[in-house]
Amino acid sequence: MHSIKDFSSIKTIEGIQYLPATPFLIFQPYRDVLFQLSGVSRRNLRLIMFGRGGKTIERKKRSVAARSGLTFPVSRFHRQLKNDHAKYRISRGTSIFAAAVIEYMVAEVLELAGKACADNKKKRITPRHIQLAVRNDEELNKFCEGVQISQGGVMPNVHPILMKPVKEWRASDTAIQSTPMSERNSSPSKNEKVKTEKRKSSARAQ
């Protein structure tokens, strides 16, 4: 059996710290002494016992987003959900799911916006390209139906009736003609009708 002094001389081979296997490693007091002598934090220390020797591996810290395979920060989503819904219990899976959904939506919009940017021979995605990407996609347009993108402009749209050929416009213009002056003069006006009625009434009175 090795004494406690043996743990002060830990050998490191290829980045792995090796410790001798001892029966008393299972007890908490001796394990605390081992942590102090090894200089490795308890959180990052993992003991693997096999055969005649024990091996400690100092694992690297990985964020929840990295473990979930996401790019968006899961911890920020979790904190924001807890702040917005204080009376509910928010599990870690809820924040992971929310981050995954929003990351997927952003990836879709950026992919379409990048294509619109390439079509316009530009190298920088602007709000105009995002507007074109969202409005030209059926599902995204329905999802963002009431959304107005700042500095996105409007979609190019010409009413079909304005796309008629010039010949049809000329034909429709000639079809609408004003009434000739002879017809206007032949039809009595309201003042003339009133005058004739007054004359008839005065003649009857005489």
Same domain, 82 and 139: yes
Q: Are residues 38 and 80 in the same domain?
A: no
- 73 and 131: one domain? yes
Domain boundary (42, 58, 74) is at: 58
Per-residue confidence band for 79, with pLDDT thresholds at 50, 70 and 90: very high
Phi, psi of 37 (to 5 degrees): -75, -35
Per-residue pLDDT, 186: 56
The verdict on residue 199 lying in a domain is no
pLDDT at 156: 84
Report yes or no: 134 and 109 within 8 Å, Cβ to Cβ.
yes
Q: Under a CB-based contact definition with an 8 Å cutoff, are residues 69 and 86 in contact?
A: no
Based on the fold, state whether residues 42 and 69 are members of the same structural domain: no
pTM for the structure as a whole: 0.51
Collect all residues with Cβ–Cβ distance below 8 Å to 116 and sequence separation of at least 6: 129, 132, 133, 136
On the question of pLDDT at 173 being above 90, the answer is no
Range list of β-strands (E), the chain: 11-13, 16-20, 45-50, 53-58
In a domain, 113, yes or no: yes
The answer as to whether 91 is a domain residue is: yes
Q: Give the number of domains in the chain.
A: 2
Domain span at residue 26?
4-58
Q: Of 116, 143, 170, which residue constitutes the final position of a domain?
A: 143
User: Which residue did the predictor score with more confidence, 68 or 23?
Assistant: 68
Length of the chain: 206
Return the percent helix, strand and coil in the chain, to nearest 5: 55, 10, 35
Contacts (Cβ under 8 Å, ≥6 apart) of 174: none
Give pLDDT tens digits for 82-135. Answer: 999 888 999 989 999 999 999 999 999 999 999 999 999 999 999 999 999 999
Strands lying side by side in the sheet with 11-13: 11-13, 16-20, 53-58, 45-50
